[in-house]
Amino acid sequence: MNEYFKIGKLAATYGTEGQLILEHSLGKKTSLKGLETIFIEEKKESFLPYFISSTKIKNEKETYVKLDGIDSKESARVLVKKEVWLNENDFKKFSASAAPISLLGFTIINDKKELGEVIEVIEQPHQILCTILFNGKEIYIPIHEDFLEKVDKRNRKLYVALPEGLLDL
């Protein structure tokens, strides 16, 4: 199965010809040059491909995107607030290695025990929260300098020292 990584959402329409503003957390200014397809999750685990006809940088966290078949402000408006996903290869190509979103897919290890794989990264003003599945439940792991021990990029592992009882909440 192809893995998909959430990179942001379509925040607004732009102009009258169906352009959209993609608000992303890729960690770098990007025009997404060479990217052919984005995916929108219509139903849980069901990703619909949308083909890109053009892109242009707006700023550090936003890119103008024109999608095939979306030719009016009205047709673009239907996609506003939808989350945007990339397949694994495109995600690796377009995300900055130092960006918090690059932690997606890493395994979090606490006290020599694997807790789970990072399925979502939430950026807060003073810390980053990583969502993992732990004992069948989604839990949030704070990635803060006080808890982070080591980042092993080669093996995609994140070593943390979590406070006692955090996993019991």
Mean pLDDT within 137-151: 85
What is the per-residue pLDDT for 169? 62
pLDDT at position 21 over 50 = yes
| Phi and psi at residue 51, to the nearest 5° | -90, 135
- What whole-number distance in Å separates Cα of residue 164 and Cα of residue 139? 15
CATH number, position 13: 2.40.30.60
- Number of structural domains (the chain) is 2
Residues 147 and 76 in one domain: no
Q: Which residue among 94, 109, 133 closes a domain?
A: 94
Residues 77 and 144 in one domain: no
Q: Which residue among 77, 94, 111 closes a domain?
A: 94
Give the angle 130-137-135 at the CA atoms, nearest 5°.
Answer: 105
Q: pTM for this one?
A: 0.74
What is the per-residue pLDDT for 1? 39
Q: Which two tokens stand for residue 80?
A: 């506003």
Residues 120 and 73 in one domain: no
Residues 109 and 150 in one domain: yes
Residues 40 and 14 in one domain: yes
- What whole-number distance in Å separates Cα of residue 97 and Cα of residue 103? 9
Average pLDDT, the chain: 88
pLDDT tens track for 53-106: 999 999 988 999 999 999 999 999 999 999 999 998 898 888 887 788 888 889
What is the per-residue pLDDT for 2? 60
Residues 90 and 105 in one domain: no
What is the per-residue pLDDT for 77? 93
Residues 9 and 73 in one domain: yes
Residues 17 and 64 in one domain: yes
In the sheet with 107-110, reading across from the earlier edge strand, the strands are: 137-143, 128-134, 113-123, 107-110, 157-160, 148-152
Residues 76 and 48 in one domain: yes
Boundaries of domain holding 150: 101-168
Residues 63 and 144 in one domain: no
Residues 56 and 119 in one domain: no
Q: Which residue among 52, 71, 94 closes a domain?
A: 94
What is the per-residue pLDDT for 167? 75
pLDDT tens track for 98-129: 788 888 889 999 988 999 899 888 887 777 88
